[in-house]
């Protein structure tokens, strides 16, 4: 699952990098833009990884929850 998300992130960030390489001719401006795009890529991948981990944990916990046992009247 995370592979598909990483591929999408890489595709979008690759388009940004390609745009900068094609249309930005000033090297003093290009370098910070590339650094920013790389930081965005790292951030987006980390958010995706942590979100997937969180929702997997929630799903496992919800699947293991026993409603009859939790709400039974004794």
Query: What distance in Å separates the CA atoms of residue 60 and residue 54, rounded to the nearest whole number?
Result: 10
- R_g (Cα) of the chain, nearest Å: 21
DSSP code per residue over 19-59: HHHHH---HHHHHHHHHHHHHHHHHHHHHHHHHHHHHHHHH
pLDDT band at 54 (very low <50, low <70, confident <90, very high): very high
Residue 53 pLDDT: 94
Give this prediction's pTM. Answer: 0.80
Query: What distance in Å separates the CA atoms of residue 8 and residue 51, rounded to the nearest whole number?
Result: 15
Neighbours of 30 (CB within 10 A): 14
What mean pLDDT do residues 40-61 have? Answer: 95
What mean pLDDT do residues 8-31 have? Answer: 97
Q: Flag whether pLDDT at 36 surpasses 90.
A: yes
Q: Flag whether pLDDT at 72 surpasses 80.
A: no
């Amino acid at each position: 699952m995370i592979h598909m998300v990483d591929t999408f992130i890489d595709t979008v960030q690759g388009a940004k990098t390609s745009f900068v390489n094609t249309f930005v001719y000033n090297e003093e401006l290009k370098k910070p833009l590339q650094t920013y795009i790389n930081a965005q890529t790292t951030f987006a991948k980390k958010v995706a990884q942590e979100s997937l981990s969180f929702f997997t944990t929630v799903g496992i916990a919800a699947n293991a929850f026993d409603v009859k046992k939790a709400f039974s009247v004794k």
